[in-house]
Structure 1
Amino acid sequence: MAETGIDAGETNKPVTDPLVAEIHKRIREAFSPFDDDNNGTVDVREVGAIIRSLGCYPTEAEIGDMLQEVEEEEPTGFIRLEKFLPMMTRVLQERRYQPASEEQLVQAFQVLDVDRKSHLTPEEIKKYLMEEGEKFTQDEMDEMLSAAVDKEKGTILYRDFVTYMLPENVQ
């Protein structure tokens, strides 16, 4: 594994590898807006948003595993930058949790579209996403449907939605 140039408690130690230094800068920039008290900590509930802002898309279970790695021995509800930085540096260096490609996403929708009609109804997608696999919450479902459902047709035109969902198109 590549040397990260950082140990727990050494978040301000200079890093000689320019790539690692750039990764640390990106992580600090993603962490900072969530560090409300400027004390090097963020609420544990914000970690998923930070990770996703860095272009990584782990499942909720994978985020849970990552949290276990960086949580204090006695959980406080907060994550310290000095623990988050080396873990997230490794994740970024290893290019873990990369988003699915456009074609992979379309293929996933096509599996659900058994009639090959190039769209799904909100009811179909709710059934799949709230009853199968890693279940969505009602709030997550409502948020996704507000972006996914074509207002005129009342269906999810999944090719259009996949293009909209791609990380480079999400604002």
Structure 2
Amino acid sequence: MAEEKESAEAMISEIHKQITDAFDVFDHEFNKTVDVREVGTIIRSLSCCPSEGELHDLLAEIEEEEPTGYIRFEKFLPTMTKVLMERRYRPIPEDVLLQAFEVLDQEKKGHLEPEELTKYMSEEGEPFTQEEMEEMLSAAVDPDKNVILYKDYVGMMTVEDN
């Protein structure tokens, strides 16, 4: 029983360290606060991939009653500890991403045209902004062939789940 308790404490301690390290990168004033606009980046750096809606709900949970534009570390830490302990917002596995691209590639040609992907990503589900689309395409489009070789892109997108 004592070993389990020590193991859980070690795990929580490690999670606290990861959260603290990620938060500190964006705590430019060294005052245990970060700009609310940077919280999504911090959360994603912890291998969590919430949707915009989930991120909005998370922010509502950790923001002050009177929003200041800043998030305080003492409110961020317990919420993110819980998120990481529950393994919420895990990245989508590579095979599932690949299947999604294969559904879009109706002609089974092994790639998508940038225009095709832009159309899907801006018209379906939670639409990407123009800036998000440009950022994604800059990484996704093969510079020599000017198409998205999605098998290669999926490999770049996936995060090892540890």
The count of corresponding residues between Structure 1 and Structure 2 is: 153
Q: Is the counterpart of residue 107 in structure 1 residue 77 in structure 2? A: no
**Alignment partner, residue 124 of structure 1:** 116
Tell me the TM-score normalized by structure 2.
0.92
Deviation at 1:23, TM superposition (A): 0.7
Deviates more, 1:142-151 or 1:87-96: 142-151
d(CA) in 2 for partners of 1:74, 1:152: 51
- Counterpart code for 1:18: A
1:48 maps to which of 40, 45, 48: 40
Q: CA deviation at 1:77?
A: 0.4
Match of 2:4 in 1: none
Describe the superposition over 1:53-87 as per-residue Cα deviations: whole angstroms up to 9, x where unpaired: 00100001100000000000000000000000000
1:137 paired residue number: 129
Deviation at 1:116, TM superposition (A): 1.1
Match of 2:16 among 24, 46, 51: 24
Q: Does 1:156 align with 2:159?
A: no
TM-score (norm 1): 0.87
Cα distance in 2 for partners of 1:54, 1:119 equals: 30
2: CA distance between counterparts of 1:73 and 1:151? 48
1:113 alignment partner AA = D
Question: 25, 28, 34: which is aligned to 2:26?
Answer: 34
Give the counterpart letter for 1:45 in structure 2: R
Question: 2 CA distance for matches of 1:38 and 1:124?
Answer: 45
- Cα-Cα RMSD: 1.1
Q: In the alignment, what sits opposite 2:57?
A: 65
